[in-house]
């Protein structure tokens, strides 16, 4: 009987090449301690893990939405106009972390630049954003990798909201600034890669961008600065990080993705606990 080589070897969590489990450095990409469990858990990616991240982000959005609807339950929650059905009040949204020039510059709630990306104002609002996210995120994961997707999504949302607050948008919420940063990254990818596939990506994703633009000018209350800022930030980050055909995700980028995840989790925990504190204290 021969022993399976799998027991003594593993795929490097960084470069995915087969290496010895006892190696202190990967002979191919030179990262230290490639068999550390946490590196294999958090830094390596495959299709199943990628799907898990997309689903986790959707679940967090749904959980935050459900929490706000329940906490802020009142007769107008069941307003049967499509844009208002299951709508938390502006007050509840502010308490749990909506952003904009008032929360940022008057109340100095800087953390709301992250929390606002996970809050929605109605059932239609969250449905539309999560539908777009579930279509676009796997696309970005495939061409850029999961870590770059997470960093682009997180920083793009922050950048879009910061820009919109600077130009004077008072209140804003929703995943769409971050979703638009995925669109920006894919537009950059399509343009930069070129060829038949790049052009197809550019025109398909360009259709999304135009649709969002038209929607934004027809429907009042849409944060077009957040959308545009998110798109520009996503394109810029796509250019800075590069996509898979250009270069691998660096170790630094993987750590940056972990930092984005950790910051988001801590921010949402802060938003929920401080939100409940404010609610109870007010009563």
Given the rule CB under 5 A, which residues bind Zn ion? 12, 14-15, 26, 28-29
- 149 vs 40: CA distance, rounded Å: 19
Q: Sign (positive/negative) of CA torsion 57, 177, 139, 247?
A: negative
CB of 34 to Zn ion, least distance (A): 6
The span from the CA of 283 to the CA of 277, in Å, is: 10
The Cα 161–Cα 177 span in angstroms is 7
- Minimum separation from the CB atom of position 43 to Zn ion (A): 10
Pick 17 or 74: Cβ nearer Zn ion: 17
Using the minimum distance from each CB to Zn ion, give the nearer residue, 40 or 263.
Answer: 40
Nearer to Zn ion, 40 or 89 (CB): 40
Residue for token digits 């022993």? 3
CB of 31 to Zn ion, least distance (A): 6
**In the bound complex, what is the minimum distance in angstroms from residue 149's beta carbon to Zn ion?**
21
d(CA 117, CA 154): 9
Nearer to Zn ion, 12 or 152 (CB): 12
Decide: 268 and 60 in contact? Cβ < 8 Å.
Answer: yes
In DSSP terms, which residues pair with 20 in a beta bridge? 9
Q: Tell the smallest beta-carbon distance from residue 104 to Zn ion (Å).
A: 41
Helices (H) and strands (E) in the chain, counts: 11, 2
Nearest alpha carbon to residue 154 among 24, 21, 53: 53
Smallest separation (angstroms) from Zn ion to the CB of 13: 8
Looking at beta carbons only, is 10 or 71 nearer to Zn ion?
A: 10
Q: Are 174 and 116 in contact (CB under 8 A)?
A: yes
CB closer to Zn ion out of 224 and 250: 250
């Amino acid at each position: 009987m021969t022993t399976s080589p799998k027991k003594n070897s593993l795929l490097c969590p960084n470069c995915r090449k087969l290496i010895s489990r006892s190696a202190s450095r990967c002979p191919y990409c030179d990262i230290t301690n490639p068999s550390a469990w946490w590196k294999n858990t958090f830094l390596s990616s495959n299709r199943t893990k990628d799907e898990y991240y997309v689903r986790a982000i959707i679940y967090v959005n749904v959980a935050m939405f459900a929490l706000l609807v329940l906490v802020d339950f009142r007769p107008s929650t069941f307003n049967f106009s499509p844009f208002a059905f299951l709508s938390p009040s502006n007050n509840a949204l502010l308490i749990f972390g909506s952003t904009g020039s008032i929360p940022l510059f008057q109340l100095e709630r800087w953390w709301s630049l992250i929390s606002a990306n996970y809050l929605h104002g109605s059932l239609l609002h969250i449905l539309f954003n999560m539908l777009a996210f579930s279509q676009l995120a796997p696309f970005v994961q495939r061409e850029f990798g999961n870590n770059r997707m997470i960093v682009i999504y997180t920083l793009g949302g922050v950048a879009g909201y910061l820009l919109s607050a600077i130009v004077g948008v008072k209140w804003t919420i929703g995943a769409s600034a971050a979703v638009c940063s995925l669109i920006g990254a894919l537009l950059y990818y399509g343009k930069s890669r070129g060829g038949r596939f790049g052009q197809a990506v550019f025109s398909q994703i360009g259709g999304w961008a135009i649709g969002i633009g038209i929607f934004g000018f027809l429907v009042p209350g849409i944060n077009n600065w957040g959308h545009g800022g998110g798109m520009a930030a996503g394109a810029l980050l796509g250019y800075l990080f590069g996509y898979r055909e250009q270069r691998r995700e660096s170790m630094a980028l993987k750590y940056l993705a972990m930092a984005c995840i950790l910051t988001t989790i801590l921010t949402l925990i802060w938003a929920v606990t401080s939100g409940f504190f404010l609610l109870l204290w007010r009563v």
